[in-house]
Amino acid sequence: MKKVLVLVLSLVLVLGLAANASALTVAFSQIGQESDWRTANTDNVKAAIEEAGWELVYSDGQQKQENQIAALRSFITQGVDYILFTGVVNTGWEEVLTEVNDADIPLLLLDRIPDCADVIDYKVAFGGDFVEEGYRMVKWAGEYLKSIGRDEEVNVVIMEGTTGASAQVDRTTGNLKALEEYPNMKLVGQQSGNFTRAEGQAVMESWLKSIDKIDVLFAQNDDMALGAIDAIKAAGLVPGQDIIIVGCDSVKAAFEAIVAGDMNATIECTPLYGPFVIDAINKLEAGEEFDKTVIHPEEGVYDCVGGIECGGSVAVTSVKAADVIDQRQY
Ligand code: GYE
């Protein structure tokens, strides 16, 4: 009887130790929930961590840098094993990320890479090629206009994301680079809609009052495009026809708008970072080497017609949204 008891207790102890060794605590400082892309990104990373059996400490920054700084400091106090970080803007992180380094907590940068990345220590940075995405937005419209025989001068507006976020800075760079190749596109408005539907709608409302004629809207994310569509309809115009609308992200709501004829195209930017995070942490745990900077190759462009060649550094031909809408999960 005594022997059995000793055996059972030893087993409990061994299992307990094993469980403890694998139970990592992973903290995630996320920007907020400003868009469908962000929601998909949060859900995907959270689910992957939970599936791996690790503990998640999640903090929603509600679009405020000071909230994110406070969250990072609290992660340090809690002594978490890993920190995942996406910064709402590019600047102002050096002090707190140095504190993370001093606490010896491995840092993984997701999505937006802060300006101080060259002076702080991080294990891996994973993001999209935002310049390429911005380039494709304009190139798609330029080639689409050509394909429907519209070679007259057109007025275009750029609705930018959160000012100072790498997705805004780089998509703007890509937008302007491609505009140089299409002299028939005249830039008549450029303003931030903060990556949200509500601000996208408000910016479009004010443009429709102050600009005589808008032919093309480049919205640096789909949520702003969807907000703008509401404003265009409210002004008695037909979105997708009177104003050609190109978004970015390729969320399901944009596919639906394209299928409904309200929007014309959206550029892919994947939010699905979960598998990458798990792989990176497993490799770090095993002491394996891997690439420090991973830029995700953006795959698709989805639109109302299909067959438009609109790649920049990588060739890509658009696919009709109606043909793939059922496969889109988010
Ligand atoms: O496009 C937008 C989100 O940083 C790539 O942020 C991300 C962008 C995405 O709010 O919808």
Per residue, what are the HEC states of 188-256?
EEEEECCCCHHHHHHHHHHHHHHCCCCCEEEECCHHHHHHHHHHHHHCCCCECCCEEEEEEECCHHHHH
Measured from the Cα of 37, ligand 1's closest atom is 11
What is the per-residue pLDDT for 57? Answer: 98
Ligand 1 centre distance from Cα of residue 258 (Å):
19
- Beta strands 244-249; 265-268: pairing state: parallel
**93-100 average pLDDT score:** 98
More confident residue, 291 or 25: 25
Beta bridge partner(s), residue 188: none
Say yes or no to pLDDT of 8 above 80: no
- Under a CB-based contact definition with an 8 Å cutoff, are residues 308 and 318 in contact? yes
Of all protein residues, whose CA lies closest to atom 4 belonging to ligand 1? Answer: 167
Nearest alpha carbon, ligand 1 atom 7:
167
Residue 11: pLDDT over 60 = no
pLDDT at 5: 47
Which pLDDT score, from 0 to 100, does residue 2 have? Answer: 54
Which pLDDT score, from 0 to 100, does residue 22 have?
64
H or E stretch including 187?
A: strand 185-192
Q: Is the CB of 128 under 6 A from ligand 1?
A: yes
Q: Among 44, 111, 220, 298, which is best to mutate for testing ligand 1, by the most ligand atoms less than 8 A from CB? A: 111
Question: For residue 260, which phi and psi values (nearest 5 degrees)?
Answer: -75, -10
Tell me the average pLDDT across 306-329.
Answer: 95
Tell me the pLDDT of the chain averaged across its residues: 93
Q: What percent of the chain has pLDDT over 90?
A: 88
- As a whole number, mean pLDDT of residues 303-320 equals 95
CA nearest 242: which of 268, 265, 214, 266?
A: 214
| Tens-digit pLDDT profile for residues 195-254 | 999 999 999 999 999 999 999 999 999 999 999 999 999 999 999 999 999 999 999 999
Comparison of pLDDT for 292 and 162, the residue scoring more: 162
